[in-house]
């Protein structure tokens, strides 16, 4: 069997996948999308399955579209990548399926965005519709900050930054009162990792010191999280909505202890969840690809 990993930077995750592939007797090749070109009418690359790991959303989206159009199997698919790579489209699909999400607004000018913020209330969060790792995500605590951020993005931002995607700031539930009294850190959110029809692992992520964000790629603390029936059910429902096979699903609890889906990552990193839980995520991915795509 041949698994081909598409990438534009070899990270810890890709190295682990290559190692696990060799250990399991599978041929694993890599394809750097910075150094290739496609003939749209002629099939140039062949593999039993392509594992899309491009850090560039658009490179990943378009290369997946071309490969699928030429009869190849790609994980995750073009459909999944298109939905999950755009936070607004993800929210729409989840809402349509009845999956709980934070209250979300979309506006196209600074003036209409300020009106939306008045309705959702401060503090609120503004995110780029396309982006990852917590980049360009801002906490808007009051109108003055909001005006400054919106003006910057309207004047200096790229096209996608001029689409103002605004969410309520989800306040965490009380959880363990003693931790608060002792000034101990409390998890901000949960990342569950889905492979096929299984939630293989989950981790709690804690806010970064001096920051309110909890992205593990930015250095946030992570530790294992028990996979409750609620986490499992909601994660698998969300994965089904976006037709995903290998996903990182970000969950949050509100003050009423209600679980909701915040975002879905179609090209999830798994270094933090592997190291914090001790689970061989790369091995689970290779096993899944062998089982489903071996010819």
**Where are the strands (E) in 77-174, listed by range?**
104-107, 124-127, 138-140, 164-168
The confidence score (pLDDT) of residue 199 equals: 98
| Mean pLDDT along residues 249-268 | 93
What are the residues whose beta carbons fall under 8 Å from the beta carbon of 285, sequence distance 6 or more? Answer: 17, 20, 51, 195, 246
Whether 2-84 and 103-168 share one fold: the answer is no
Which tens digits make up the pLDDT trace of 132-183?
777 889 999 999 999 999 999 988 877 778 899 999 999 876 555 555 444 4
pLDDT in tens, 52-111: 999 999 999 999 999 999 999 999 999 999 999 999 999 999 999 999 999 999 999 999
CA dist., res. 80 & res. 166, Å (int): 23
Rg, Å, the chain Cα set: 20
Query: Which one is the CATH code of 172-278: 3.10.129.10, 3.60.15.10, 3.30.70.260, 3.30.470.20?
Result: 3.30.470.20
More confident site: 140 or 211: 140
Q: Could you give the maximum distance between any two Cα atoms of the chain, in Å? A: 65
**CA dihedral sign, ordered 248, 166, 92, 257:** positive
Q: May I ask the CATH class of domain 2-84?
A: alpha beta
- Report the candidate in 16, 82, 12 with the shortest Cα–Cα distance to residue 282: 16
Q: Which tops the pLDDT comparison, 205 or 249? A: 249
Q: In terms of CATH architecture, what is 103-168? A: 2-Layer Sandwich (3.30)
């Amino acid at each position: 069997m041949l698994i081909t990993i598409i990438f534009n930077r070899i990270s810890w995750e890709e190295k682990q996948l290559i190692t696990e592939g060799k250990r399991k007797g599978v041929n694993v090749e890599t394809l750097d999308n910075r150094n290739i070109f496609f003939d749209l009418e002629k099939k140039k690359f062949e593999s039993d399955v392509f594992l899309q790991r491009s850090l560039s959303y658009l490179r990943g989206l378009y290369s997946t579209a071309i490969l699928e159009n030429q009869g190849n199997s790609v994980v995750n698919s073009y459909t999944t990548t298109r939905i999950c790579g755009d936070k607004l489209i993800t929210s729409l699909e989840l809402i349509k399926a009845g999956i709980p999400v934070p209250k979300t607004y979309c506006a196209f000018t600074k003036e209409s965005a300020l009106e939306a913020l008045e309705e959702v209330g401060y503090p609120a969060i503004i995110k780029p519709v396309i982006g990852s790792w917590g980049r360009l995500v801002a906490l808007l605590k009051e109108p003055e900050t909001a005006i400054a951020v919106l003006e910057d993005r309207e004047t200096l931002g790229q096209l996608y930054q001029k689409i103002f995607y605004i969410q309520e700031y989800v306040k965490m539930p009380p959880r363990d009162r003693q931790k608060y009294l002792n000034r101990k850190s409390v998890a901000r959110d949960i990342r569950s990792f889905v492979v096929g029809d299984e939630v293989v692992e989950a981790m709690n992520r804690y806010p970064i010191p001096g920051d309110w964000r909890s992205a593990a790629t930015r250095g946030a603390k992570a530790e294992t999280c028990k996979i409750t029936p609620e986490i499992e059910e909601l994660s698998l429902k969300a994965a089904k909505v976006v037709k995903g096979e290998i996903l990182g699903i970000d969950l949050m609890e509100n003050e009423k202890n209600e679980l909701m889906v915040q975002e879905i990552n179609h090209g999830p990193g798994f270094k933090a969840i592997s190291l914090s839980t001790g689970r061989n995520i790369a091995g689970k991915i290779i096993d899944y690809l062998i089982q489903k795509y071996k010819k």
